[in-house]
């Protein structure tokens, strides 16, 4: 019996290693992914601090999602993921 195509596709998508490029693509919409993968991409951007270093739209959306409880603050806080481009503190 052959596995369903959708199931195989979901496993393939879930198995993709999150990179800066992939996370940015999923967040911006030029890469396709499931809603769970898009959430994982946004969390990756917050955890690595890229959300605060890319164009303003990323930081504003990440802040909104953090306030709504959709995303969590980074577990491991470093200067790279707690300050924005100008050096202002995002998380304390």
Residue 47 phi/psi, 5-degree rounding, is: -60, -35
What confidence tens digit (pLDDT) does each residue in 59-89 have?
A: 999 999 999 999 999 888 777 777 777 777 8
pLDDT digits (tens, 9 = 90+) for 14-64: 568 999 999 999 999 999 999 999 999 999 999 999 999 999 999 999 999
Can you give the pTM of this predicted structure? 0.76
């Amino acid at each position: 019996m052959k596995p369903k195509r959708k199931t195989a596709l979901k496993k393939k998508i879930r198995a993709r290693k999150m990179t800066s490029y992939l996370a940015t693509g999923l967040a911006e919409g030029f890469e396709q992914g499931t809603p769970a993968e898009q959430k994982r991409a946004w969390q990756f951007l917050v955890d690595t601090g890229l959300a605060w270093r890319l164009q303003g739209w990323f930081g504003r959306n990440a802040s909104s999602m953090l306030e709504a409880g959709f995303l969590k603050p980074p577990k491991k806080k470093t200067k790279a993921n707690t300050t924005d481009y100008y050096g202002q503190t995002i998380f304390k």
